[in-house]
Structure formats: structure tokens, C-alpha cells
Amino acid sequence: MESLAMELSKINAIKFEDYKTKVGLYNPVYFDLRESLVQLMMEMIDIKNSKLVCGVPYTALPIATIISLISILPMVMRCKEAKSYGTKELIEGIFSDGDSCLIIEDVVTSGSSILETVEDLKASGIVCSEAIVLLDREQGGKAFLAENGIKRHSILTITELMRFLFKRGFITAEIKATVNDHIACKKMKSENVTISMKEALTDQ
């Protein structure tokens, strides 16, 4: 949490100036958190490597939208089911064959949601080799994505998150150990299976 506070300060998400809030109160500090997550993500990757961004539907769509607005990279949107009307396209947006696309996701477990999105993008001629996620649950997603040619960047791993929360007294040693044991167990099992990651993780 301390490091998060430092990061928020570093990326100028906490502004010490006179501001008037929405309800009309004057105050000396303003929290510009909407863009801070996006700034953290953008510091981890070279956005110029990509021509497009795409959020994994549907939870990552707002994050991808902000990244698109800040970076001025066009956003494409993957529809989970092809519409029965209009363009009937699975991928909405303006793009050209061979365009590279950065994938945005909030949480990665097995990596299957990212790969499904990548596969639909590929079928439309879009190339994907990088994904950025807010939190990696460290249950095989990174390796699975690497096997499929996708490099995943993450702001936080679950191990780091548990360590920070424990250090600051937000969780007990017991909770930390339970989560870590659970993750280690799922990780080992998922690495030893040859069936799809999704089955590996749900069968346990």
C-alpha cells in the first residue's frame, strides 16, 4: 500500500492545488485516480509498439477506453457473440490487415480469456503479441500466454499483493498463508496438465 501511495504520487495522481469539488467544496488536494491506473499500465509498456488497443470483454473495456483516449491509439472491440444484425462482425472498429494490437485485461488466471480475444482478433487479421494486466493471480496464465506467443506484463502479482496487505496489517498471516498455499497448489497442478488451462483449473 505504501508503494501504491508512492506510485500514485509519482504519476501525479495526487495534486496539491486548490480545487473545487463537484459539490462546491474548496480543498487543497485532488485525487485524479481515473487515469492513474492507466498511467501505471502505460509506464510498463511501449505503447508505440502497437497500432490498436483492445480490452478483454467486458470488464476491461473501460480501462482500454481510457488507454485509447490517452494514447490516441484506436480501440477495437471484441463482441463475445457475433451480432445477428448490422455488420455482424466479431471485431468492431477501424483497423487494417496486419495491425498490431495491445490487449488490456484486469485480472489474469489461466490466460484463456486473453487468448480467446487474441484468437478472434487474429481471425480478423490483427496481430497480438503483448497483453497488460492489472493483477496476475499466478495460476499459469503467464506461461500459457507465452506458449501462445503473448508476453504478459502485470502491474501486480497476487504474491506481491498479499505481501503488501500483510505488511500493512490488512490481512492476517493465516489469510496470507491460505491464499499463497492455494495459489501454489493450483500453479503446480496447472503446470502438470496437458489438457486446456480452463479444464485444468476448474477440475481441481
Closer to ligand OMP by CB, 6 or 188: give it. 188
How far does Cα 100 stand from its chain's mean position? 17
For residue 58, whether the previous peptide bond is cis, meaning omega lies within 30 degrees of 0, is yes
Under 8 Å CB-to-CB from 8, ≥6 apart: which residues?
Answer: 14, 33, 36
| C-alpha cell read off for 162 | 498479499
Residue 171 cell numbers, joined: 490481512
Give the alpha-carbon dihedral of 146, 151, 157, 160, to 10 degrees.
110
Task: Report phi then psi at 103, rounded to 5.
Answer: -95, 135
Shortest Cβ 129–ligand OMP spacing (Å): 17
In the bound complex, what is the minimum distance in angstroms from residue 116's beta carbon to ligand OMP? 8
Nearer to ligand OMP, 105 or 138 (CB): 105
Nearest approach in angstroms of CB 106 to ligand OMP is: 6
Shortest distance (Å) from residue 49 CB to ligand OMP: 22
Q: For binding to ligand OMP (CB under 6 A), which residues are involved?
A: 56, 59, 105-113, 137, 141
Nearer to ligand OMP, 93 or 140 (CB): 140
Nearest distance from C-beta of residue 190 to ligand OMP, angstroms: 10
Q: Report the residue number, 113 or 154, with the smaller CB distance to ligand OMP.
A: 113
Nearer to ligand OMP, 99 or 109 (CB): 109
Q: Which residues contact 104 (CB under 8 A, 6 or more apart)?
A: 41, 53, 54, 55, 56, 60, 63, 64, 67, 131, 132, 133
Task: Give Cα 53 to chain centroid, integer Å.
Answer: 12
| Residue whose CB is less far from ligand OMP, 18 or 203 | 203
Q: Please, what is the minimum distance in Å from the beta carbon of residue 104 to ligand OMP?
A: 11
